[in-house]
């Protein structure tokens, strides 16, 4: 059956699952480790065979334990509680469940639900194990991630070997990291007696992705010789990056000091290319559940390790992908005003009964509106807001005093026009004739015509006054049209300016985004180059260390060869001394003794005879030499020198022969 992860929508549901599974594991072993039952209490009497079978069933080697752990690190602090509970066991095999809950100081929470099996090998040297976990984690960015973990282990009294493989669910979450307002504009809208102020903000949002990574870790450890309570471990881990997230490669080292069977101290350190250096010190406390028995008390060192917690990564590993910039616009209602009265500045209103609404405003161009507007201003209680409209569009808010000044001028112009009304006494049929006089009236003002009226006939002046009023109205309309055209031109210029400013802002934002991207790429390239140089430096250091090591080996080899040569020379000297010098040292004293002995013997006649013989031989040899010298006169000096050397050699041989004869004489 496929599990639907989306149904677990909050951390509360996750905590409920944890609590249920822990409670289930706590209460399940009670029957397996209890020595009493209601049936046995009722029966009381059972045969020895049943009793023996029951004892065999209940005397278990391994009990469930609750484990508490804590770690204090340079980047975060971690707390953990776990339940390790056997499900089935015999003398060499154990089937167990392992439930864990972990929390850290960065608001991350994780639960692990595992099941595994361990067994002791036939030679009683190793514990082999296999296990699997289902993991669920809420990251510090409130992202929920699920994972499947599979592990293998081999444990002994000294060496430990472990391998873990992690397969997370592919749930990538995009998170807003930073927001920046890069542009804004405001405008106002109105309806009835309400005035609304709006603001549109252009926002650049930097988003990153939190990506769960699949990977593995390999660990090997050993008990320190002579310090069996201290175990040291080394591990390598790799998590494969995807979806823009970098891969993580690193090493981890840890040490475990077992102060008691149920209490140990932990020191741990790791370093990788993404999370950099992490260091922890902590503890682990194990609380056994149930009663002890003879088998538990007689456990060997290897058998006690059957209930050690499987060692694995405590986190579902995630990494951040490359950031992206998203541009958006947000419109906000910043202000609302009520009890607002509107006054139209340009267009004349067609309403005879203005109310000051946005749909029916007062008009400064309609004289009939000015009296009612002035009365409304006199009634102002300080709670009204007055707004000037231009061609039906918002122009500005205006104070009461400024508005009084605007309506004062049209009222002053309207007063002279009221004087001309009594002059309209002429009969309507005689008005058409004086229309030829309309041209000269361009100079006359309404007040200048009033004085001659006392002399002129009423019927001749009435028509020019009406024409003057009409022309003034036409002039006012032309002035209004010119003002409207000027305002429209100004509005278009303002629109063009704003559009140009908007385009410049868009170009600036695009340039900023481009520069940020270039800076990011340069930073990435720089970091990659730094990493490459660090790797080259590390390899160079390793090479130099290897060269130094080889030089040290060569030096030691030279010293060893010199020592061997010295010993060989000494051996040869000793051999020469034993073969040559020692016999001479023995013979020399014997020769001295022989000569002394000969000196004591009465050998005078022999000496006389020997001397005579020697003399005769020398004389004979001298004669032969003289003859040889005479015969060798024509020859070279070298031949003479050879002859003399030959004679000396013969003399030496003769003397040795004589000594030999003398030594052989009685």
Given pLDDT bands bounded at 50, 70 and 90, which one contains residue 131? very high
Q: Per-residue pLDDT averaged across 209-235, rounded?
A: 93
Tokens of 193: 């007696």
Residue 81 has pLDDT above 60, yes or no: yes
Q: In DSSP terms, which residues pair with 385 in a beta bridge?
A: 340
How far apart CA 169 and CA 212 sit, in angstroms, is 8
Q: How many residues does the chain have?
A: 666
Distances, alpha carbon 78 to alpha carbons 105, 106, 282, 310, 632, in Å = 7, 9, 9, 18, 116
pLDDT of residue 484: 86
| Contact (CB, 8 A) for 161 and 169 | no
Given pLDDT bands bounded at 50, 70 and 90, which one contains residue 142? confident
∠ CA 319-322-324 to the nearest 5 degrees?
130
How much of the chain, in percent, has pLDDT values that exceed 90?
Answer: 37
Of the listed ranges 4-18, 82-96, 112-126, 132-146, the one predicted with least confidence: 4-18
Distances, alpha carbon 482 to alpha carbons 183, 357, 392, 408, 487, in Å = 35, 27, 17, 22, 9
Q: Where are the beta strands (DSSP E) in 345-502?
A: 362-363, 385-390, 393-398
pLDDT: which is higher, 183 or 463: 183
Sheet of 393-398: strands edge to edge? 362-363, 340-344, 385-390, 393-398
pLDDT of residue 53: 46
Nearest Cα to Cα of residue 171 among 131, 211, 119: 211
Of the listed ranges 229-243, 452-466, 500-514, the one predicted with least confidence: 452-466
Q: Is 283 helix (H, G, I), strand (E, B) or coil?
A: strand
How far apart CA 143 and CA 11 sit, in angstroms, is 10
- What DSSP element (H or E) covers 100? strand 93-104
Helices (H), 293-399: 294-297, 301-304, 367-378
pLDDT: which is higher, 614 or 665: 614
pLDDT of residue 358: 80
Q: At what angle do helices 604-631 and 637-664 cross, to 10 degrees?
A: 170
How much of the chain, in percent, has pLDDT values that exceed 70?
Answer: 74
Distances, alpha carbon 454 to alpha carbons 442, 449, 450, in Å = 21, 10, 8
Contacts of 374 (CB under 8 A, 6+ apart): 404, 407, 411
Q: What is the pLDDT of residues 54-75, one digit of tens each?
A: 444 456 889 999 999 999 999 9
Given pLDDT bands bounded at 50, 70 and 90, which one contains residue 564? very high
Of the listed ranges 32-36, 145-149, 180-184, 233-237, the one predicted with least confidence: 32-36
Tokens of 36: 């009493």
End-to-end CA distance of the chain: 127
Residue 439 has pLDDT above 50, yes or no: no
In 10 A of CB 282, how many CB atoms? 18
CATH tag for 5-177+211-320 (out of 3.30.70.1140, 3.20.20.10, 2.40.160.160, 3.20.20.330) = 2.40.160.160
């Amino acid at each position: 059956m496929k599990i639907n992860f989306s149904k677990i929508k909050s951390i509360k549901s996750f905590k409920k699952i944890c609590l249920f599974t822990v409670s289930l594991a706590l209460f399940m072993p009670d029957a397996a480790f209890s020595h009493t039952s209601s049936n046995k209490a009722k029966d009381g009497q059972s045969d020895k065979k049943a009793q023996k079978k029951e004892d065999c069933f209940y005397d278990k080697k391994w009990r469930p334990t609750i484990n508490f752990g804590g770690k204090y690190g340079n980047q975060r602090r971690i707390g953990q509680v776990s339940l390790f509970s056997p499900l089935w066991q015999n003398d060499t095999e154990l089937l167990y469940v392992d439930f864990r809950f972990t929390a850290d100081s960065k608001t991350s929470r994780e639960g692990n639900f595992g099941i595994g099996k361990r067994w002791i090998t036939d030679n009683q040297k190793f514990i082999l194990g296999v296990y699997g976990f289902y993991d669920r984690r809420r990251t510090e960015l409130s992202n929920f991630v699920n994972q499947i973990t599979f592990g293998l282990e081999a444990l002994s009294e000294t060496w430990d070997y472990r391998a873990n493989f992690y397969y997370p669910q592919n749930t990538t979450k995009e998170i807003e990291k930073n927001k920046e307002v890069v542009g804004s504009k405001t405008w106002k809208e109105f309806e009835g007696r309400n005035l609304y102020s709006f603001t549109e903000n252009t926002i650049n949002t930097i988003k990153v992705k939190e990506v769960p990574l699949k990977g593995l870790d390999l660990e090997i450890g050993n008990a320190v010789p002579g310090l069996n309570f201290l175990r040291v471990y080394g591990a390598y881990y790799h998590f494969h990056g995807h979806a823009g997230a970098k891969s993580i490669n690193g090493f981890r080292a840890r040490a475990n000091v077992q102060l008691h069977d149920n209490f140990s101290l932990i020191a741990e350190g790791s370093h990788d290319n993404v999370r950099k250096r992490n260091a922890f010190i902590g503890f682990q406390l194990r609380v056994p559940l149930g009663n002890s028995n003879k088998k538990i008390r007689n456990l060997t060192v290897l058998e006690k390790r059957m209930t050690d917690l499987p060692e694995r990564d405590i986190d579902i590993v995630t990494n951040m992908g490359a950031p992206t910039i998203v541009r958006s616009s947000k419109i906000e209602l910043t202000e609302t005003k009520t009890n607002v009265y509107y006054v139209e500045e340009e267009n004349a209103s067609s309403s005879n009964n203005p109310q000051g609404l946005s749909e029916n405003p007062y008009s400064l161009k309609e004289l009939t509106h000015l009296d009612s507007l002035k009365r409304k201003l006199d009634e102002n209680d300080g709670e009204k807001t007055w707004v000037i409209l231009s061609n039906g569009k918002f122009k500005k808010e205006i104070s009461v005093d400024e508005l009084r000044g605007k309506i004062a001028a049209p009222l002053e112009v309207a007063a002279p026009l009221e004087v001309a009304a009594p002059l309209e006494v002429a009969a309507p049929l005689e008005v058409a004739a004086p229309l030829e006089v309309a041209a000269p009236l361009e100079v006359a003002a309404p007040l200048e015509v009033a004085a001659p009226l006392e002399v002129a006939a009423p019927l001749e002046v009435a028509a020019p006054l009406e024409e003057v009023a009409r022309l003034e109205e036409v002039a006012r309309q032309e002035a209004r049209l010119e003002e409207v055209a000027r305002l429209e031109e100004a509005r278009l210029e303002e629109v063009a300016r704003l559009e140009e400013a908007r385009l410049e802002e868009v170009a600036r934002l695009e340039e900023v985004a481009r520069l940020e991207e270039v800076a990011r790429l340069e930073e990435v390239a720089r970091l990659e180059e730094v990493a490459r140089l660090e790797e080259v430096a590390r390899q160079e250091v390793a090479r130099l260390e290897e060269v130094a090591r080889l030089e040290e080996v060569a030096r030691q080899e030279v010293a060893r060869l010199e020592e061997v040569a010295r010993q060989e020379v000494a051996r040869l000297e000793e051999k020469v001394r034993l073969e040559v010098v020692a016999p001479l040292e023995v013979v020399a004293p014997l020769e001295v003794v022989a000569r002394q002995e000969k000196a004591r013997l009465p050998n005078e006649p022999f000496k006389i005879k020997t001397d005579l013989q020697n003399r005769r031989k020398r004389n004979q040899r001298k004669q032969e030499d003289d003859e040889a010298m005479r015969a060798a006169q024509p020859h070279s000096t070298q031949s003479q020198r050879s002859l003399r050397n030959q004679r000396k050699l013969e003399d030496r041989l003769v003397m040795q022969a004589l000594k030999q004869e003398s030594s052989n004489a009685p």
